[in-house]
Structure 1
């Protein structure tokens, strides 16, 4: 019997439109000989199952079921395609785990930890993971611009602590730009992380559990046409994403080792995509994404393609691993 798969997409953050694209790609590429895919939109004002004729049927949040044409449908597994809250920060994971419904993402704690850049980097530093020098600011804090620049230097990056897709991020070249950059970040989150600039090759490393084995995918080199890998560079074609990356064998071995170590030491499951910048041939971690983009143009699917893994195989593998845990 075919399994019913809910593909959750949307979310409550600025990333909802990107999430809808990811979810629709998953819906299109799931093997319908094995699965019955359902598109489920998760928004603040509604949770609905959307049918092929664009009719909407409300999700019963008591058991995450839906009634369509007088037939109650329950789901064997949830494919989590929500970037940002509540899909990438642990809320949906906790909800689904309480209901006993398998899902393709990591567990609640790991999702919350990786989504919080400050907590993630603080957790990984004792394990020897290199990262940029940072300074923390919260909403309502007085901004001591001189102290910040003395610690992190110029240029520096100002980021929303809990946000993705480069929302709420600015590169600051002058101290006079700092306050505005903090204000931009605070529109996305009430916590800000300010980091020193790392001048080097930027790479993205996908790590997945493929057929029961932690697998590091081919590495992607990021070459942005803009000042950094911002929203335009990620989604509007203002960058080159080169897979495999044009880095030395030593650099490749180093970053593969670190990315796999992070995946395993954090006890991640499902997909992850870690971002690094090389400094003196050593990889410095920027962040870890546990719900990376999954469109045909997204980085992790590009990496999977180079590794010989098709989108149906990539998505089906995640579902089968989730089902096996139940």
Structure 2
């Protein structure tokens, strides 16, 4: 019997538009013999809408309340008699939902917020849980966990609007150049490479538009390597790695999504078998330390001396046509459609395990 899978995209995030592109690819690849898709777009204002078909992706590059695509139906995700249900605010109809596939990059989707809602309504979902999603999204918390677990990562300083940290303060501790980035953002939104006082003042102003915490991080010269990880936390699997060769100053939002020639992608990345084993072992360790489940992309810097540094993890990586996560699995022998199927099954398995846990002391 087919499972009803809610593909949830859009959201109140700077990565709203990228989310729609990822969702289109997932919808196209979904095995319709196994799953019936329910397309749910969250507007930039935070409203939930159900769309009757994947035509929404050709009708809109973003979901906004004042200019909705045709046949947008306002809905709410609720629990009814202990079961997750999609409730129509338009005609009061109810649709059972077996699993959710959140394709919500950035805040209000990748940071544990929507995962908390799924938990509340007892809905199985693809990807990491509340805690690992939140910790992976907040780069300061992520780096604290890395350091405690002795996972090599770049030195950093925390910048806030309430503490006056000067450009020279940062240079004295981290050297020059250095990067600044919002603690809670993705896809290089608000990220700047800083070389001068003027860069610092301008970049900091932009970064603070996206979060109240900003990280200053040392510049590590090295190759940019990524690795896809998948599976339950107790037994993760790591893909062959890929390498990003930016054609811009660094792998910025423009290089990722706007400029078709913004970066060269080499999959699999060239490295010795010893380096590959080291990378995959570190990727799986990072996945487990962060409490990840389902899927994560782990991003590295590889220095000339062979040392790997973990840059960050991404708990809802991109699924666009040029996204590294599915491409690295494809190079490892797992095609796009089979990847989507496996991720959904992992989510269903995790939910089934959790449902066996007691929630009442007296029963």
**Counterparts of 1:155 and 1:174, CA distance in 2:** 8
1:97 paired with 2:119, answer yes
**Counterparts of 1:82 and 1:121, CA distance in 2:** 23
**Counterparts of 1:62 and 1:155, CA distance in 2:** 49
Structure 1 partner of 2:239: 217
Say if 1:22 and 1:293, in contact at 8 Å, map to a contact too: yes
After superposition, where does 1:1-326 map in structure 2 within 5 Å? 1-43=1-43, 44-52=45-53, 54-63=70-79, 64-67=85-88, 71-209=93-231, 213-235=235-257, 236-237=259-260, 238-279=262-303, 280-325=305-350, 326=352
| Secondary structure in 1 matching 2:308 | strand
> What TM-score comes out, normalization by structure 1 length?
0.95
**Counterparts of 1:299 and 1:142, CA distance in 2:** 38
- Cα drift, residue 320 of structure 1: 1.0
| Secondary structure in 2 matching 1:106 | coil
- Cα drift, residue 176 of structure 1: 3.1
Structure 1 partner of 2:62: none
Number of residue-to-residue matches in the alignment: 325
- Cα drift, residue 248 of structure 1: 2.8
**Counterparts of 1:51 and 1:313, CA distance in 2:** 24
> What TM-score comes out, normalization by structure 2 length?
0.86
**Counterparts of 1:302 and 1:242, CA distance in 2:** 10
Say if 2:160 and 2:212, in contact at 8 Å, map to a contact too: yes
- Cα drift, residue 71 of structure 1: 4.2
- For 1:93-147, what per-residue CA distance to the aligned partner results, in whole angstroms no more than 9, with x for missing partners? 0111111000002110110000001100111112111111111101233232211
**Counterparts of 1:247 and 1:183, CA distance in 2:** 39
- Cα drift, residue 87 of structure 1: 1.1
Say if 1:27 and 1:38, in contact at 8 Å, map to a contact too: no
Gaps of 5+ in 2: 56-69, 80-84, 353-363
Segments of 4+ in structure 1 off by > 6 A?
Answer: none
| Secondary structure in 2 matching 1:62 | strand
* CA RMSD between the two structures: 1.7
| Secondary structure in 2 matching 1:304 | helix
**Counterparts of 1:206 and 1:311, CA distance in 2:** 13
| Secondary structure in 2 matching 1:148 | helix
| Secondary structure in 2 matching 1:88 | coil
Gaps of 5+ in 1: none
Relative distance call for 1:273 and 1:45 in structure 2 (3 A) is: closer
- Cα drift, residue 69 of structure 1: 7.0
